[in-house]
């Protein structure tokens, strides 16, 4: 009897890892979730992704392009805030909760995942009846406020999860402040695919292009960067500010009005959403991450490093874990536009210094934030 095509012991397909990532729109979390999924598949571990039916289709499109199977369920937002929009979104989620729970139960029965990686605490709370301490992990991309309600919720999660996987040591500290046991906290820095194989060489061409990449929102520091750019533009009139990303239309109009008042509107280029992230950084001379908030581990700062760009960033959240002062970039105090302006001026006035930072940025990104290291560390956690 020919057994060449018969299943053998040990040949049974592996149970997949299920990544629960809502993906209403594509931001840093969705980008690294795609990296994790593709990296695990490349290493021989099957992956499925559970995404939200409330989305603008970009994340679903990218999952399809990456060859990652997706389950779509009505998983979204819950809030105790009494403002109209959060209340409406919470009401929709409560209405859809029975459908969500039935759908998730079906997904678990069908896939029988070996691990479930959650990426959002709202979703984790909604799916809490299904949590298993030997299977479920929370991949934490945000700082957790040290407030009573968060302490209660996250201590509850701690008893129901295998561990919290924090994207930076700073995020891990936010859990420690809540009283989460050290044994439940792991840190794995995100990693991404190298965007550009070689560091672009400077052509000396004008104008000097300053960029900010990501969601357009007040907490990201766009106001501070505009103020800084106005200072820089007084002495470096050939400079340009390129703003990549989308956000609240009202806030964008505020920034456009501010640019006109500052007299720099003609030198501010609104680039909106650009799908090809490699092309973003090829058009810049420096990337600025002027976060006002405690950004966990901004993907744009890592991407810029891979692209051979120096980064100017605030000393907030996980940014000092990416940027070493005067090695691969410059660190400034948050909400201090004059410091941002001074840092930009240093790079414009000293191309040799800028070039050295760019070369170091490329090396540090490859060593500390490459996908191979990221996948190896994450898979070790999954298999523990």
Rounded mean pLDDT of 179-186? 97
Reported as a single tens digit per residue, the pLDDT across 308-332 is 999 999 999 999 999 999 999 999 9
Q: Which CATH superfamily hosts domain 209-368?
A: Glycogen Phosphorylase B; (3.40.50.2000)
Pick from 289, 333, 293: which is nearest to 310 by CA? 289
Rounded mean pLDDT of 281-294? 96
Task: Please state the domain extents for the chain.
Answer: 17-192+370-383, 209-368
**Do 17-192+370-383 and 209-368 come out as alike in CATH topology?**
yes
Residue with structure tokens 């001379």? Answer: 285
Q: In what order do the strands lie in the sheet with 240-244?
A: 268-272, 240-244, 209-213, 286-289, 311-314, 329-332
Give yes or no for residue 23 having a pLDDT over 80: no
At 2, the pLDDT band (50, 70, 90 cuts) reads very low
- Count each helix (H run) and each strand (E run) in the chain, helices first: 14, 13
Bond into 207 cis (ω within 30): yes
Q: What is the pTM of this model?
A: 0.87
Which of the residue ranges 14-28, 133-147, 187-201, 366-380 would you say has the lowest mean pLDDT? 187-201
Q: For all residues of the chain together, what is the average pLDDT?
A: 92
What is the per-residue pLDDT for 196?
A: 61
Q: In what order do the strands lie in the sheet with 163-166?
A: 70-73, 47-52, 17-20, 115-118, 136-140, 163-166, 185-187
At 9, the pLDDT band (50, 70, 90 cuts) reads very low
Q: DSSP for 95-117, please give it.
A: HHHHHHHHHHHHHHHHH--SEEE
Reported as a single tens digit per residue, the pLDDT across 74-106 is 999 888 777 888 888 889 999 999 999 999 999
Q: Which fold has domain 17-192+370-383?
A: Rossmann fold (3.40.50)
**Cα separation values, 107 from 87, 100, 116, 263, Å:** 28, 10, 11, 55
């Amino acid at each position: 009897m020919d057994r060449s095509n018969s299943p053998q012991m040990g040949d049974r397909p592996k149970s997949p890892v299920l990544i629960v990532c809502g993906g209403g729109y594509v931001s840093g979390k969705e980008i690294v979730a795609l990296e994790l999924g593709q990296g695990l598949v490349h290493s021989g571990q099957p992956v499925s992704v559970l995404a939200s039916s409330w989305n603008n289709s970009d994340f679903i499109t990218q999952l399809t392009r990456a060859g990652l199977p997706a389950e779509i369920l009505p998983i979204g937002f819950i809030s105790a805030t009494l403002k109209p929009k959060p209340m409406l979104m919470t009401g929709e989620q409560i209405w859809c909760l029975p459908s969500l729970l039935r759908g998730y139960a079906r997904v678990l029965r069908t896939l029988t995942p070996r691990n479930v990686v959650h990426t959002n605490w709202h979703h984790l709370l909604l799916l809490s009846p299904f949590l298993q301490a030997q299977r479920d992990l929370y991949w934490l991309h945000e700082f957790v406020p040290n407030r009573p309600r968060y302490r209660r919720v996250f201590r509850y999660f701690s008893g129901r999860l295998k561990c919290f996987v924090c994207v930076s040591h700073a995020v891990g500290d936010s859990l420690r402040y809540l009283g989460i046991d050290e044994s439940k906290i792991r840190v794995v820095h995100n990693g991404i695919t190298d965007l550009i194989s070689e560091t672009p060489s400077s052509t000396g061409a004008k104008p000097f292009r300053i960029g900010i990449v990501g969601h357009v929102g007040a907490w990201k520091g766009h106001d501070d960067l505009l103020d800084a750019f106005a200072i820089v533009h007084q002495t470096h009139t050939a400079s340009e500010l390129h703003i990549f990303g989308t956000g609240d239309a009202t806030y964008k109009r505020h920034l456009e009005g501010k640019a006109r008042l500052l007299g720099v509107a003609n030198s501010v280029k609104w680039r909106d959403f650009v799908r090809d992230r490699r092309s973003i950084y090829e058009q810049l001379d420096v990337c600025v991450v002027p976060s006002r908030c405690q950004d966990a581990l901004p993907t744009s700062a890592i991407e810029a490093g891979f692209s051979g760009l120096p980064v100017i960033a605030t000393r907030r959240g996980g940014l000092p874990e990416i940027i070493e002062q005067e090695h691969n970039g410059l660190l400034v105090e948050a909400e201090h536009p004059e410091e941002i302006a001074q840092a930009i001026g240093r790079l414009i006035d000293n191309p040799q210094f800028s070039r050295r930072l760019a070369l170091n940025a490329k090396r540090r990104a490859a060593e500390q934030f490459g996908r191979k290291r990221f996948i190896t560390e994450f898979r070790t956690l999954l298999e523990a």
